[in-house]
Amino acid sequence: MPIAEDPEPRPSADDPFEGLVLDDEFVRSASVKEASGRARMLTEKWKKNPPQEPEPWRPVTEIRRSRFGRRARRLDAWGNPVRRRRGARGWQAPLFVVLAVAVTLAALNVDRLRDWYHTRTAASGSAAAAQAPVPTVAPETARPSGAPTAAAADEPTVDHPWAGSPAEGWPVGAAGFALPGAQAIGVFSADQVAAQLQLVKDYLTATNLDPAVIAGGRPDAALGLMERQQQDRATAALGQPSEEHDPTTWFSRFDPREAIQVGDAVRVQGFMTLEGDGDKGVLVHTDYTYVYPVRPGPEAAKRAVSPHPSHSPAPGASGSGGSGGSGGDTKPVGWVQPVADVAGSTATTRTIVRRVETFRFYDPARYRVDPKKIFISDGRSTIGNSACDVYDGYYHPQFRQFALPGAPEPSGPTTDPYDHSKDLPQDDGDCGSVSRT
């Protein structure tokens, strides 16, 4: 038979928990609640390091780095994780798209990208070279001991016509004529000798530096300074130029239809000395090199492939003939470096002229002379980068871009037109070439 369980004992009358029921209502009505585990942890932590009160405009945050080097989490002042706003990196997706498109386009046209890069780097290199200061060379007072040092192999342009030339630091124009100290010589006082030196300087300026004369104009100012007999010879040469009477023996001139001076600056280097002539007169010796930067004229290409006419007056020239030749005793054919045909640049070259001249001032008591006129007792010149065997009163520089394929090479020796450390050689009739322009 089943065993009956004993009934629960009845609580005693003095039990305080008699009739207590632990239901939901009892729990909700409790006045004291136990803190959570995290709250107890923070309470212990804040006993030593109390939290700072957050500023109203910026919450105090704490960065806690997780284990294994994973990304750190941002926590607020109460230790709760701060969620990162989803739109904080919204700019990255468009950027990745743009980069992907750029890389794809570059891959489709690698050659064009390479050309663009080389053009930009070359332009920046040229700009840096152009901005680099060029050492200034003072005028010479005596013959140098050697040729000028080699310059950087830069290509001349209209914007930078002196690039690659040893003359880039030379004096400009009449500043290259350094007059020696005047002193009493023969029958002339120091003041008279000083006036003679200034007269020589004025003549050199009028014959080699006047922009109008360089552009093929008539050298009236220079003619006015010459002694009457030599003035007549020079005037006749301008009217009827020939091998025996070549105007470039006296004057530096270009045919503007073929070559146009770049700017109005001419670089000059050389020296001037004086001494007595042994007959109570004065001798003034000059040895100067002139460098002319030029660009092609409107008919340069046509003139390069056709013979130069013997007599064809240039525009603006008066009393002179022709187009196309060079003067002087020796006329080496030059070369130029090609220049890229880009915006703002034009192919240019340089013609280098060296003149060695002696001017004599006679004793006016013994000779019928005008003391205010120039008398040239001796004069020689050589032209670097000008066509040979053309005697029409102009220089004719050679431009590489117009050179004819298969043209014969010059038969004469190669010379350095910038080297004036040696005496000017006698004309041997050979058409040579220059080592640099």
Residues 76 and 148 in one domain: no
The pLDDT of residue 351: 93
What does the chain come to in residues?
A: 437
Asked if residue 28 is part of any domain, the answer here is no
Residue 2: phi, psi to the nearest 5?
-65, 145
C-alpha–C-alpha distance, residues 400 and 9, integer Å: 129
Please give the full DSSP string across 276-306, using - where no structure is assigned. E-SSS-EEEEEEEEEEEEEEE-TTHHHHHHS
User: 258: closest CA among 351, 407, 397?
Assistant: 397
Residue 332 pLDDT class (50, 70, 90 cuts): very low
Residues 68 and 158 in one domain: no
Question: Is the pLDDT confidence value at 329 over 80?
Answer: no
269 in Cβ contact with 288 (< 8 Å)? yes
Percent helix, percent strand, percent coil in the chain, to nearest 5? 30, 15, 55
DSSP designation for 199: H
64 versus 157: the higher-pLDDT residue is 157
Residues 194 and 74 in one domain: no
Asked if residue 134 is part of any domain, the answer here is no
Compute the C-alpha angle 305/307/313, nearest 5°: 115
Give the mean model confidence (pLDDT) for residues 14-29: 70
Give the mean model confidence (pLDDT) for residues 160-174: 90
Residues 261 and 355 in one domain: yes
Question: Is the pLDDT confidence value at 249 over 80?
Answer: yes
Residues 161 and 70 in one domain: no
The pLDDT of residue 316: 46
The pLDDT of residue 77: 61
Neighbours of 370 (CB within 10 A): 11
Residues 76 and 224 in one domain: no
Residues 182 and 315 in one domain: yes
Burial class (CB in 10 A: 0-12, 13-18, 19+), 417: buried
Question: Is the pLDDT confidence value at 184 over 90?
Answer: yes
Asked if residue 213 is part of any domain, the answer here is yes
Residue 115 pLDDT class (50, 70, 90 cuts): low
Asked if residue 425 is part of any domain, the answer here is yes
Residue 252 pLDDT class (50, 70, 90 cuts): very high
Decide: pTM greater than 0.85.
Answer: no
Residue ranges making up the domain that contains 240: 141-434
Residues 307 and 409 in one domain: yes
Residues 78 and 225 in one domain: no
C-alpha–C-alpha distance, residues 395 and 305, integer Å: 17
Asked if residue 36 is part of any domain, the answer here is no
Q: What is the 3-state secondary structure (H, E, C) of 116-166?
A: HHHHHHHHHHHHHHHHCCCCCCCCCCCCCCCCCCCCCCCCCCCCCCCCCCH
Residues 66 and 211 in one domain: no
Give the mean model confidence (pLDDT) for residues 327-350: 46
User: 270: closest CA among 204, 332, 196, 198?
Assistant: 204
Question: Is the pLDDT confidence value at 344 over 60?
Answer: no
User: Which of 82-91, 256-265, 424-433 ranks highest by mean pLDDT?
Assistant: 256-265
Asked if residue 95 is part of any domain, the answer here is no
Residue 348 pLDDT class (50, 70, 90 cuts): confident
Give the mean model confidence (pLDDT) for residues 232-256: 93
Q: What is the 3-state secondary structure (H, E, C) of 338-374?
A: CCCCCCCCCCCEEEEEEEEEEEEECCCCCCCCCCCCE
Tokens standing for 100?
């992907």
Average pLDDT, the chain: 77
Give the mean model confidence (pLDDT) for residues 42-60: 68
Number of domains in the chain: 2
State how beta strands 259-261 and 73-76 pair.
Answer: unpaired
Residues 413 and 332 in one domain: yes
34 versus 407: the higher-pLDDT residue is 34
Residues 262 and 346 in one domain: yes
The pLDDT of residue 436: 79
The pLDDT of residue 207: 96
Asked if residue 16 is part of any domain, the answer here is no
Asked if residue 374 is part of any domain, the answer here is yes
Residue 113 pLDDT class (50, 70, 90 cuts): low
